[in-house]
Structure 1
Amino acid sequence: MQSSIPLGWQELRIGQIAREISQRNRNSADIPVLSVTKHNGFVRSSEYFTRSVHSDDTSNYKIVRKGQFAYATIHLDEGSIALLKDFEHGLISPMYTVFEASSALVCSDYLFLCLKRFALSGRFDPYSNGGVNRRKSISFGDLKAFRFALPPLTEQRAIVEVLGAMEEAITKSEALIGELSAGKGHILKLYEAESASAPKMKLRSMVKSLTAGVSVGGEARGKYDHEFGVLRTSSVSSGIFLPDQLKVISEDNLDRVATNPKADCIIISRANTPELVGASAYVRENHNNVFLSDKLWQIDIRDRKSVNVRWLSLVLGTPRMRKMMSVRANGTSSSMQNISKSAFLGLEVSVPAIKVQNAIADAADVFETRQLQEQSYLNALKSTRAALAQELLSGRLRLPESMIARHREKSERAA
């Protein structure tokens, strides 16, 4: 492995630069209880879960302090690891492992980037304990033997700065998409105002057909132009149609797929989590190389002279309609619910005049067009950031000396 180490880097074990911390809340101090999430790092447990999931007695909980790490001992392979930055301290379940960087050779932010990457890529699997039917547990005693190449401290900090700038751009783009989505939501208040005295119709009188797709396995990766894909439920979960949320299917399964997304139709998730069952999106154009899965329906409208399909897609996305669909869904699993065709078609909608429908749809389109543009930009940002992180953290791509020198000068001034 020595020959694969980038010039100027050194190979170290995690145990040489980090140490485990196991301080318990023996004095029952009033410290917030935290959870470690795969995507948002440390969060207050009370805000992440809809109900209290921690014990009233927290005396055996571990204390984690700002600048320390924690990972779920049985979920590290899923990327459940975080660096505490937004709280001075917190309490976490004894099921977590807490540790801290203990060497001047390593920057904690850089170490976090590396550990997250190693966890998600399966690099820690050989250090885990557990069979096929058991969750794999990775103790710090085993993890500290893991070896990896570490660049000089100034290069670490330069890499953190570059990737941090991209992360900041991603955060700003996500915030803008949220604002645009909220703006579209305000448009729907026009519907509520105009529909107070409007006649009510059941969906079955408006819907010409409700067509499901077929369950087909595939690879969750980007699709080339000549390939075919089956849509995932995430293609409609945000309220806008994202045809790149798919699994690439092999040619062997092409004879099994059915139902392409058609222009001026609505796709809806008939099976999903309780929060996302009934999520839907409007389809603007035909898509001939992607297909619906069995968890998606395509809604075709009976009479487009009296019902604006774009308007109806907005109505189906209102909180009131989503709640009605969630209430009518059922299933044996609390994490996966289904709504039947009869339950869905039995839903009632207030239908204002077609000119009102058209006005609402046109106003919402202004927001959604921009939202789609920003979503495309966000996807490109995330893809670029992931590729750049892969290259920088492996040492295959090195930053210019001028960028690294800035951090060397900062260190010299601080000294």
Structure 2
Amino acid sequence: MSHYKPYLAYKGSGVEWLGRVPEHWEITPLKYEAEFVNGAAFKPEQWSEIGTPIIRIENLNGSLNFNCFDREMDARYHVEQGDLLFGWSGNRGTSFGPFIWPHAGRHYLNQHIFRICNFKFDKAWFYWSLKAVTAHVEDQAHGIIGMVHITKGDLGGIKIAIPTLAEQQAISAHLDRETARIDALIEKKTRFIELLREKCQALITHAVTKGLDPNVRMKDSGVEWLGVVPESWKMLPLKRLISSIGQGWSPECEARVPEEGEWGVVKVGCVNGGVFRPEESKALPTEMEPRPELSLRAGDVLISRANTRELVGSCAVVPHDYPYLLLCDKLYRVGCGEHVMPNFLAALVTVYGRRAVEIEATGASSSMVNIAQSVILDLLVAVPDADEQVEIISRVSAATTRIEHLREKTERSIKLLKERRSALITAAVTGQIDLRETV
């Protein structure tokens, strides 16, 4: 913010989150400046496929999957394009906070969302001011994981700082321009991460299906999608390579990561991205008896058996013993036989399993997909000898480590951009920076 200048004179606001504000700005609670109309409590049996679309929380996030209501509702529940909405119970950073409704035509408002009306501000400025309020509320709820909510009374009691109309317009114009620039950078970096993931997957796929020597003699695998494989590799079902397969336990856990020495149960997301993440776990309640036989051991190959279509079949190797972390029900634990290394088995499952998911899950309507044990056990895979497995995994690990470092660096830069965006919004709507000459 160093290239922005401050106002010449400030006064104390008496409000902690606002701090000192420009001397001529007014301080007032939101409840005196706008009306917050809660949506209707539609019941599932009232939904239909025809009629007026109902705006639910998921639609604030861009989903075009609408339930409809085929009768007339009171005008207070009507939403038109350009209306200012506020999701008062939703996920932090996504569905919680203000939205300007982008779609044409009449819609009805569902509960957990306010329609904000009867205000005299520049709408765009009020939107940005409410974004700063949202960041403040989320900061206050820092100990809460996932969903955040605020009551109408608590939201109305939050005080904001109000500049002149000309300043409101200058602030909103600057924020529209600068946040669009930041968002474009975030989008490019996010796409870059997607390309890195695709490159990593392509690298693993080629290595564990074709080997490292481009001049090696090849043979027909007998598997249509696989094509040819190195001549010396053996084709056999995965069940011939493993010593055991089982799944875990999913008790009702506490919504926090277990502390050191405390029992916990891993979540299905602990294998996302092909790397075991022990922090993706929940604490087992102290009154619940643990099941030590489900503790994770070095060399365990964990496979996601139930998840979204994009993540099901994710696979990772447990790098060392975790005596207090227990296997969950949504993961298979596979033990390796004497002819396959854990990391090579994980790579095989990642490549062959993903293909199996694509075939098995074709036409599945649910966003959640399951892989049966039989699908894993019957995977027909091509396997080299032990020495070649070691060489392939060594080469793949070196390449994927470089890609992973680049991905982490890009994710850090995205985090910094998001922090800068939030800080700029707060600084602008609380008067920490003077934007009157930036129009």
TM-score for both structures, normalised by structure 2: 0.61
Q: Using a 3 Å threshold, how does the CA distance of structure 1 residues 374 and 84 change in structure 2: closer, same or farther? A: farther
Name which of structure 1's ranges 87-96 and 243-252 shifts more when overlaid on structure 2: 87-96
- Measure, in 2, the Cα distance between the counterparts of 1:70 and 1:80: 11
- Measure, in 1, the Cα distance between the counterparts of 2:438 and 2:361: 63
Indicate whether 1:123 and 2:155 are aligned: no
Query: Pick from 160, 166, 174: which aligns with 1:150?
Result: 160
Q: Using a 3 Å threshold, how does the CA distance of structure 1 residues 189 and 369 change in structure 2: closer, same or farther? A: same
| One-letter amino acid of the counterpart of residue 181, structure 1 | R
Deviations 1:166-194 (A, max 9, x none): 98997676555433322211211243335
Query: Pick from 376, 383, 389: which aligns with 1:344?
Result: 376
- Looking at CA atoms only, which structure, 1 or 2, has the larger radius of gyration? 2
Q: How does 1:65-104 map to 2 (within 5 A)?
A: 65=82, 69-70=84-85, 76-78=89-91, 80=95, 93-95=107-109, 102-104=120-122
Aligned counterpart, 1:114: 133
Indicate whether 1:365 and 2:397 are aligned: yes
| Alpha-carbon shift at residue 271 of structure 1 (Å) | 2.7
- Measure, in 2, the Cα distance between the counterparts of 1:392 and 1:249: 41
Structure 2: tracts of 5 or more residues without a match: 1-12, 22-26, 40-52, 139-146, 212-220, 222-227
Q: Using a 3 Å threshold, how does the CA distance of structure 1 residues 256 and 273 change in structure 2: closer, same or farther? A: same
Question: Higher relative contact order at CA 8 Å, sep ≥6: structure 1 or structure 2?
Answer: 2
| Alpha-carbon shift at residue 162 of structure 1 (Å) | 11
| One-letter amino acid of the counterpart of residue 295, structure 2 | N
Structure 1: tracts of 5 or more residues without a match: 23-32, 128-142
User: Is the contact between residue 212 and residue 292 of structure 1 (CA under 8 Å) also seen in structure 2?
Assistant: yes
| One-letter amino acid of the counterpart of residue 123, structure 1 | I
User: Is the contact between residue 34 and residue 90 of structure 1 (CA under 8 Å) also seen in structure 2?
Assistant: no
Query: Pick from 337, 342, 352: which aligns with 1:302?
Result: 337
- Measure, in 2, the Cα distance between the counterparts of 1:256 and 1:265: 17
User: Is the contact between residue 54 and residue 109 of structure 2 (CA under 8 Å) also seen in structure 1?
Assistant: no
Query: Pick from 266, 270, 290: which aligns with 1:235?
Result: 270
User: Is the contact between residue 278 and residue 326 of structure 1 (CA under 8 Å) also seen in structure 2?
Assistant: no
Q: Aligned Cα RMSD in Å?
A: 5.2
Q: How many residues align?
A: 358
What SS does the corresponding residue of 1:251 show, helix, strand or coil? coil
Q: Using a 3 Å threshold, how does the CA distance of structure 1 residues 192 and 168 change in structure 2: closer, same or farther? A: same
User: Is the contact between residue 170 and residue 378 of structure 1 (CA under 8 Å) also seen in structure 2?
Assistant: no
> Identity, % of aligned pairs?
18
Aligned counterpart, 1:16: 33
| One-letter amino acid of the counterpart of residue 315, structure 1 | L
- Measure, in 2, the Cα distance between the counterparts of 1:160 and 1:18: 24
Q: Using a 3 Å threshold, how does the CA distance of structure 1 residues 16 and 399 change in structure 2: closer, same or farther? A: closer
Aligned counterpart, 1:324: 356
Query: Pick from 252, 256, 269: which aligns with 2:304?
Result: 269
User: Is the contact between residue 277 and residue 326 of structure 1 (CA under 8 Å) also seen in structure 2?
Assistant: no
Q: Using a 3 Å threshold, how does the CA distance of structure 1 residues 145 and 151 change in structure 2: closer, same or farther? A: closer
